[in-house]
Structure 1
């Protein structure tokens, strides 16, 4: 059984906190420095953004829809290969979101994100995998989901 040292855990936690803070401040150049290989996986939507160009595109698209997007109640947990973050994501819908016009309404949605690390000497984030309930967000925004079937 491998056990991650407290020094590694502290460094990873500091990196995840810097990642969160720079995202909220929209300092995406700083956010990129927290990642050895930028990759986002949004599990509820099935979207994957792989590489710096795609991740930056995701940041810009999501902040166009929610310019005040931020995190609240961040709680971090550790495993040997990841930091798991529980948090509330908040934002105000002021731009188009998947074709839906802005409603001006705000949302608060509980989320879980797994930050996976490469384990190298530099030990940067190599993937952020995010789980959330899209109905929580669309319901608070007053958007009717486009459900096929």
Structure 2
């Protein structure tokens, strides 16, 4: 497959956009169709120092996340793509309806910003091999607990996408 860097990054951008659009639709088979479905796949949740190894564990992470925030929505606020890597700044919103990091659900709304790195392999350039996510978990936990004055980030979704 002889693709230019521009062609490769354009296709990666399409894959990541489809991936996020299907996450927002909660269409899990379509989400998984954008990913490698083997032992090379992994998902790093950096603030929790946790790696989910292989496709089955990645699926398990998505199940845990959706049980905590079943109505979650991802708004893209920034992006950058290069051959093999795609980066997205996003705002995640949702309602805490399932246990997360030991916090029992109280139906509090959450909103937090996150950076996501999508990794593509040279031999599978159009499937997401791995994801690494970075966010302030303490901000999430404070919102879930309903703490007065809990921060919600700097409002990137409102700045970037006023219609959100």
TM-score class, shorter: 0.7 to 0.9
Structure with a larger share of its residues in helix: 2
Q: How far 1:120 sits from its partner (Å)?
A: 2.4
Aligned to 2:73: 70
| Structure 1 stretch displaced more, 62-71 or 22-31 | 22-31
Point out where structure 2 has 5 or more consecutive residues left out of the alignment.
148-164
How does the TM-score come out when normalised to structure 1? 0.86
Cα distance in structure 2, aligned partners of 1:143 and 1:57:
27
Aligned to 2:131: 128
* Equivalent pairs, count: 141
Q: How far 1:98 sits from its partner (Å)?
A: 2.6
| Structure 1 stretch displaced more, 115-124 or 23-32 | 115-124
Aligned to 2:11: 11
Point out where structure 1 has 5 or more consecutive residues left out of the alignment.
145-149
Q: How far 1:75 sits from its partner (Å)?
A: 2.0
Moved over 3 A (4+): none
Contact 1:112 1:130 in 2 (8 A): yes
Aligned to 1:39: 42
1:123 partner SS: strand
How does the TM-score come out when normalised to structure 2? 0.79
Cα distance in structure 2, aligned partners of 1:46 and 1:93:
22
Aligned to 1:81: 84
